Amino acid sequence: MIFLCFFQTHNMTETSKDTPKSKETDKVIKQLSAKINKEPKNAGHFFKRAQQYSKKEDYEKCFNDAKHALDLDESLVDAAVLGGEAATKCGKFQGAHSIFSIGLKQNKKDENLIKGLKKLQRAIVDSYDTEDTTEQGYNAVDLCTQSPYPGDDQLLNLEKEILDRRHDIREVSRLPKKEIDPDLRQRAAQAAMAGHKSMIAGKFTDALESFTYAVDIETDNIILRRLRAEVFFINQDPVSAMKDLMHIQKPERTADAWKLGGKLLMEFKLPVLAEFWLRKASELAKGKDEETAICFQKVRAHRLYDPLTKDMPVTVDFTMYGKAVFAVKDIKAGDIVFSDAPIVTTPYIADDKKQVVKGCNHCGTSLMTARDYFQGKLDNMDATAKEVVENNWPVTKPVVCSECKLVTYCSNICKNTAWERHHELLCPSRSKATKKLYDIDQNKGWGTDVDGTWKELWSGHFSAYILAKIWANIAADVKLWMKQDGKDVPEMMHWAKAKAPFRKFIAFGVGSAANDMPYILKIMNDIFRDCGDGIKMDITEQELNGRYYQAACNLQIYSDPVTPYHKFYDNLSNFNPEDPKALSILKYLDDKIPSASFSGMFPLHACLNHSCMNNVEVSDGEVNGVPGVSVRAKTDIKEGEELTTTYIDTTMPRRLRRAWMYKSFNFWCQCPRCQFEGDDAYSCSNCKKRAGDTPFKGCGKCHRAWYCSSDCQKINWKEGHKLVCGVAHSKADYS
């Protein structure tokens, strides 16, 4: 299982110094570019151009070329060194790490690579030290909209009816002005004052009595009604509270009244009505009331996720940090908490790996053949072993698309479903644009631009097909909804319904993918301009950016947990261990199992937050026989506790962890470990005092916290270090 890390790239301002030397460099670059156009598979040309870009201090281009040179020829260790250093210089730490790793595979002891890695580590730590830690780039609440969903107006009326029938609550028209005896009015005012005092003192039964006395006299006093509603709410009498609020006419309801009503409606489990009231409260508070905004998103989270988590021991809720998954019952360590299926998926090829095994392009099922696994060994095997393989390796029956003959599926069912859901629009045989998209994907993002130059047209760390499949799925659903309604042209409602499944994924990122990749914007528009049946899709810059960051924030790498190899191995276990046949094959088995990796968007898994002391682990799993992810409890989890996974290698020290998290996910981790561990021996992990020349003593057990005095150690231990000291950590493969 690998986690994708997406780094914001620092925008390089190109320094174009007009010296004769730089002119010479430009000339060489031009010549090399011409060569590249003629021979786009020549690694040497790319490496040479990377060297020129390095001279120009254009590190981003240098990195791209060096990376591409390595893609074409893994043995170019010098390209790894050059590219890694360039990536470090322009802040692409993830890229640097991965390119150095490719180099190290060739030569573990290469001094320049090791030097480069050390520099990278220093750069990460430096960037962490200079980063302003108070700056929060990400505000979960602000990122979520409050716009109503399609069909909400009908649901709203339905919920009003339920409120009326089930609880006898409805809007009350204005009561006629009453003539009140001045003495009585005086007494009502006194009661109201007393009620208010009791409320502040926390004596809610007294408060209720006083307010009721006052309301009985001044039945049309809306301030009294609202205060009493508040007290009813606290006294857990939502029906009476709501009835009081209904006495306040809509134009006279304050933000507080709308907010209280929203909370009450949450208790009545009437989400659409609750959203309506909370939206009103937000509007009146001009979006400045955080509690209202969070309440609104809580309602929304339950609307979206309750149907998904119905049979699971978890629920999705919304906190000030965004969506989060909580246990609704105690969960034991080792239990599978839930499994999740992707809503879109594409094959994933890591920078430093070559895909040898095919998987079904639609469902991700591994189609590993005996040759994929044994490779050359298959030809030199002795006859007995060969026979064992022939008789026991499960037969896979891959099916290719009959139009393009390029895309492979595990079965006719997958082939047909894929055609309906996305491949009809994306099949490389459909148009020039779809073929181009296919070629760019095959070339890891590279292709010929409109001006004829060979360059990186797609720079995402994932396949551009993810975005294409999202749009194709939407188009397919619009078609379905439209036909179901017996319409010839799609309506707003059909679009909204088709886009609904993708609302679950948050999008966050800086910079414009559409600006960086104009060619992709163009071919996506070429593809979706005409989706058939009169359906047209306009892929605007905003649409491309939104989907791009949705994918970047939510993609998860996974692969089929039960491959043909696993089945083969299972078959072997039926042999008698003494059987010479069983023995003959053993020497050919290797624990390196090649996999068909996919990257997918998982709606529920995407709600898990990070902690450096994660209590769940994500692994390859399956849902209804189709590959997906499984989330397993790492420790015992109590009812009400948040489930957390990790996005990074949590064995790293705090400073590195936080730097990685900030660089890749743009937030400062505030998990218990990050709070109760220290950075180094030169600052006290409790009182933050700086050490002089002699470092402070560290915690003898975990060596991850340092203290100026034993008092500080005791305080820190009590406050939380005891929770994090000596916990075993996950070493996620985060590269």
Q: Does 472 contact Zn ion by CB under 5 A?
A: no
Count of positions (residues) in the chain: 735
Least distance between Zn ion and beta carbon 283 (Å): 37
Least distance between Zn ion and beta carbon 688 (Å): 7
Of residues 405 through 464, those in contact with Zn ion by CB under 5 A are 407, 410, 414, 427
3-class secondary-structure state, position 323: strand
Torsion of CA 722, 724, 729, 733, to 10 degrees: -170
Task: Please select the residue that binds Zn ion; options are 686, 706, 716, 732, rule is CB under 5 A.
Answer: 686
**Dihedral pair phi/psi, residue 584, rounded to 5°:** -60, -30
Task: Please select the residue that binds Zn ion; options are 227, 425, 631, 684, rule is CB under 5 A.
Answer: 684
β-bridge partners, 165: none
Task: Please select the residue that binds Zn ion; options are 131, 403, 439, 526, rule is CB under 5 A.
Answer: 403
Least distance between Zn ion and beta carbon 659 (Å): 11
Distance, in Å, from the CA atom of 702 to the CA atom of 650, rounded to the nearest integer, reads: 14
Nearer to Zn ion, 258 or 438 (CB): 438
Least distance between Zn ion and beta carbon 698 (Å): 8
Nearer to Zn ion, 192 or 426 (CB): 426
Least distance between Zn ion and beta carbon 612 (Å): 3
Task: Please select the residue that binds Zn ion; options are 523, 671, 676, 679, rule is CB under 5 A.
Answer: 671
Distance, in Å, from the CA atom of 178 to the CA atom of 219, rounded to the nearest integer, reads: 8
Amino acid at 347: P
What number of chain residues touch Zn ion (CB under 5 A)? 26
Q: Does 404 contact Zn ion by CB under 5 A?
A: yes
Distance, in Å, from the CA atom of 282 to the CA atom of 298, rounded to the nearest integer, reads: 14
Task: Please select the residue that binds Zn ion; options are 363, 367, 524, 585, rule is CB under 5 A.
Answer: 363
Nearer to Zn ion, 427 or 475 (CB): 427
Residue 443, CB-side half-sphere exposure with 13 Å CA sphere: 19
Q: Count CB atoms within 10 A of the CB of residue 322.
A: 19
Q: Count CB atoms within 10 A of the CB of residue 174.
A: 11
Least distance between Zn ion and beta carbon 335 (Å): 24
Strands 642-645 and 609-610: parallel
Nearer to Zn ion, 245 or 671 (CB): 671
Residue 585, CB-side half-sphere exposure with 13 Å CA sphere: 24
Strands 344-347 and 322-327: unpaired
Per-residue three-class SS string for 3-69: CCCCCCCCCCCCCCCCCHHHHHHHHHHHHHHHHHHHCCCCHHHHHHHHHHHHHCCCHHHHHHHHHHH
3-class secondary-structure state, position 238: helix
Q: Does 608 contact Zn ion by CB under 5 A?
A: no
Identify the residue whose tokens are 């009816």. Answer: 161
Least distance between Zn ion and beta carbon 331 (Å): 22
Least distance between Zn ion and beta carbon 418 (Å): 8
Nearer to Zn ion, 255 or 626 (CB): 626
Of residues 696 through 725, those in contact with Zn ion by CB under 5 A are 699, 701-702, 708, 712, 725
3-class secondary-structure state, position 618: strand
Task: Please select the residue that binds Zn ion; options are 687, 714, 722, 723, rule is CB under 5 A.
Answer: 687
Least distance between Zn ion and beta carbon 701 (Å): 4
697's CB contacts (< 8 A; 6+ apart) are 681, 706, 707
β-bridge partners, 346: 599
- Name the token pair of 68: 């591409």
Least distance between Zn ion and beta carbon 642 (Å): 13
Of residues 31 through 90, those in contact with Zn ion by CB under 5 A are none
Least distance between Zn ion and beta carbon 613 (Å): 7
Nearer to Zn ion, 262 or 564 (CB): 564
Task: Please select the residue that binds Zn ion; options are 582, 674, 691, 715, rule is CB under 5 A.
Answer: 674
Nearer to Zn ion, 178 or 690 (CB): 690
Angle between the N-to-C axes of helices 59-72 and 43-55, in degrees from 0 to 180, rounded to the nearest 10: 160
Kindly write out the interface string for residues 176-215 of this chain, putting x where it contacts Zn ion by CB under 5 A and - elsewhere: ----------------------------------------
Q: Which run of H or E residues covers position 524?
A: helix 518-528
Nearer to Zn ion, 272 or 410 (CB): 410
Report whether 616 contacts 634 (CB < 8 A): yes
Least distance between Zn ion and beta carbon 683 (Å): 9
Residues that bind Zn ion in the complex, under the rule CB under 5 A: 360, 362-363, 365, 401, 403-404, 407, 410, 414, 427, 612, 669, 671, 673-674, 684, 686-687, 689, 699, 701-702, 708, 712, 725
